[in-house]
């Protein structure tokens, strides 16, 4: 489907900046190397992180919504997600472990008032095998009053997790032109990638 939508795969400037920031943070040698890559839904986080992984030989990618949602989502809890992360940590050595599409689980933790517990515990997580953990999920803009799904905001995220280990993918008008060109349509004032894809479809 994505190959039918995108005729080119040029990165936006925002994606390039976020990849550069992620790469810089991953190299810093944090004693507790667990990171968050976030931004509003449809900004291109998955595409950006996949481009990053092409440059890191020791890396592994998990789409948790596609492959592990049933395993974790049933009676979801902070402990259950943390145990899943610990399980992966035990399977690899000196590897970047990316856990993408965590939105449904993060949303449930947020609604169960467990997200703060999860994030604070994740922030203290130490890999037994020198791995680095990158969690990818969506947040809402702090200026967005239409929070129909009651998902966490960026400021809310900062209250539970240090800014030095968070990378936020933003979206601006220059990004619209690149993504629209990738899709082969005329650029318009879209809000995110989903709107551009829907126009293409």
Per-residue b or e along 127-137, where b marks 16 or more CB atoms closer than 10 Å to that residue's CB: beeebbbbbbb
- Dihedral angle over CA of 59, 3, 168, 152, nearest 10: -100
Is the pLDDT assigned to residue 35 strictly greater than 80?
yes
How would residue 13 be classed by pLDDT, with cut points 50, 70 and 90? confident
Query: Could you tell me if residue 180 is inside a domain?
Result: no
pLDDT exceeds 90 at position 111: no
Q: What is the pLDDT of residue 42?
A: 74
pLDDT at 201 over 50: no
DSSP-H helix ranges across the chain: 2-5, 13-27, 45-53, 64-67, 69-73, 78-91, 103-111, 115-123, 154-158, 173-183, 193-200
Question: How does residue 3 score in pLDDT terms, banded at 50, 70 and 90?
Answer: very low
**Total structural domains in the chain?**
1
Domain limits at 122? 14-138+163-174
pLDDT at 149 over 50: no
The answer to whether position 81 is within a domain reads yes
pLDDT at res. 71: 75
For residue 190, name the pLDDT band (cuts at 50, 70, 90).
Answer: low
For residue 198, is it within any domain? Answer: no
- Predicted local distance difference test score (pLDDT) of residue 177: 73
CATH code of 168's domain: 3.40.50.300
User: Is 38 inside a domain boundary?
Assistant: yes
> What pLDDT sits at residue 96?
97
> According to the model, what pLDDT value does residue 175 have?
74
Residue 134 domain flag: yes
What's the confidence (pLDDT) of residue 188?
59
Mean per-residue pLDDT for 160-177? 78
**What pLDDT score does 194 carry?**
54
Q: Is 144 contained in some domain?
A: no
Q: Is 88 within the bounds of a domain? A: yes
Q: What is the pTM of this model?
A: 0.80
Q: Which residues of 80-94 are buried (b: 16+ CB within 10 A; e: fewer)?
A: bbeebbeebbeebee
The reported pLDDT for the residue numbered 100 is 94
In a domain, 196, yes or no: no
- Mean pLDDT value across residues 97-106: 92
Top mean pLDDT of 25-29, 72-76, 194-198 is at 25-29
């Amino acid at each position: 489907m994505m190959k039918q939508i995108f005729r080119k795969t040029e990165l936006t400037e925002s994606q390039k900046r976020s990849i550069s920031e992620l790469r810089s943070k991953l190299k810093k040698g944090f004693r507790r190397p667990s990171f968050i890559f976030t931004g509003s839904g449809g900004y291109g986080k998955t595409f950006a992180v996949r481009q990053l992984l092409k440059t890191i030989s020791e890396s592994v990618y998990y789409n948790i919504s596609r492959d592990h949602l049933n395993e974790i989502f049933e009676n979801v809890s902070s402990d259950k997600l943390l145990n899943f992360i610990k399980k992966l940590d035990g399977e690899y050595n000196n590897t970047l472990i990316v856990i993408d599409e965590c939105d449904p689980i993060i949303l449930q933790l947020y609604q169960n008032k467990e997200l703060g517990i999860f994030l604070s515990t994740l922030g203290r997580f130490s890999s037994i095998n020198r791995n680095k953990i990158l969690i990818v999920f969506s947040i809402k803009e702090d200026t967005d009053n239409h929070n129909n799904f009651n998902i966490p905001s960026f400021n809310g995220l900062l209250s539970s997790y240090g800014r030095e280990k968070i990378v936020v993918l933003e979206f601006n008008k220059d990004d619209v032109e690149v993504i629209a060109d990738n899709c082969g349509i005329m650029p318009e004032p879209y809000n995110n990638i989903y709107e551009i894809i829907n126009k293409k479809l």
